[in-house]
Amino acid sequence: MAHRWDPDRYLTYADERGRPFVELVARIGAAEPRTVVDLGCGPGNLTALLADRWPGASVTGLDSSPEMIERARAAGARVAFGVADLREWVSTGSTGDEAASTDEDLVDVLVSNATLQWVPGHLDLLGGLVGRVRPGGWFAFQVPGNFDEPSHTIRRDLAAGSPYAEHTRDVAVPSSHDPAVYLDRLAALGCTVDAWETTYLHVLTGEDPVFAWVSGTGARPTLQALPDDLRADFEEEFKRRLRAAYPQHHYGVVLPFRRIFVVARTPE
């Protein structure tokens, strides 16, 4: 079954989720771009920052989730929002590693924040994404790199057992590569690449905060795939194991979160 995103749940930790976006965009050297696209814009709260950064640009936010785009449009930002699948957007006007066929297909700045990890085989899409950027333009993306952490391995191990496996075996699961892999692939395409990683130590508060975090992102497809009569038990055991893996301190619960950043300048 196709999962649906919940903008309110996703925005529970909006500040923590937004910080990598801000740090990614800060490394983009574009001065006065004409067209800026946020591919996988979610609820649009961060896309609005692109309009602030480049007030003279035409800024567009695209996401495959109608729920996210509905929320983004309701915010009334100075941005055009639309529903679009990343893979289809890549193929519009360009094929493979070739540049888009007309200038109208090209953008000056392409940003994709915490999205590519949901696209299987996204490494092979990098050529097409670069092909949608004007020569000398900028392509920047950020993906999580924490898939070996308990927040993911606990969900994976629990979902693989009975009685859950028959419902969860085909759910969407995010994945990414190390920064050196992205650097090598984009450099082979002629780009000048700045790639790095950062591990944030998010201090979370509230009841079962790590579960609240992952239930809005990485664990959401799994939770939605479970029938109602199994979901409650799954969630309770998931929470119990997360509490053991991420203990409560007097100042909150620490969630280490590794993220991968890439900023590429396309060849002139």
Distance CA 70, CA 130 (A): 28
For residue range 153-198, what is the model confidence (pLDDT) as tens digits?
999 999 999 999 999 998 988 999 999 999 999 999 999 999 999 9
In a domain, 235, yes or no: yes
Computed over every residue of the chain, the mean pLDDT equals: 90
82 band by pLDDT with thresholds 50, 70 and 90: very high
Q: Which residue has the higher pLDDT, 245 or 95?
A: 245
pLDDT at 97: 38
Flag whether 193 is in a domain.
yes
> Can you tell me the distance from the alpha carbon of 36 to that of 54, in angstroms, rounded to the nearest whole number?
9
pLDDT category at 94 given cuts 50, 70, 90 is very low
pLDDT computed for residue 117 by the predictor: 96
Q: What is the dihedral of CA 41, 79, 110, 26, to 10 degrees?
A: -90
Q: Do the domain assignments include residue 158?
A: yes
At 216-237, the pLDDT tens digits run 888 889 999 999 999 999 999 9
Asked whether residue 255 is domain-assigned, the answer is yes
pLDDT at 4: 60
101 within a domain of the structure (yes/no)? yes
pLDDT number for residue 32: 96
pLDDT confidence band for 1 (50 / 70 / 90):
very low
pLDDT of 133 over the 60 cut: yes
Given a cut of 80, whether residue 65 has pLDDT beyond it is yes
Does the pLDDT at position 95 exceed 70? no
For 22, the domain range is: 7-265
Domain for residue 2, yes or no? Answer: no
Residue 56 forms part of a structural domain: yes
For the ranges 70-79, 105-114, 117-126, 141-150, which has the lowest average pLDDT?
70-79
1 belongs to a structural domain: no
Predicted local distance difference test score (pLDDT) of residue 6: 55
Tell me the sheet residues that pair with 140: 111, 263
* Cα 86 from Cα 118, distance rounded (Å): 10
Looking at residue 99, its pLDDT comes to 43
CATH code at 30?
3.40.50.150
- pLDDT of residue 11 exceeding 80, the answer is no
The tally of domains found in the chain comes to 1
Cα distances (angstroms) measured from residue 104 to each of 92, 182, 192, 256, 260: 11, 27, 24, 42, 30
**pLDDT, greater one: 46 or 2:** 46
pLDDT of residue 96: 36
pTM of the model: 0.91
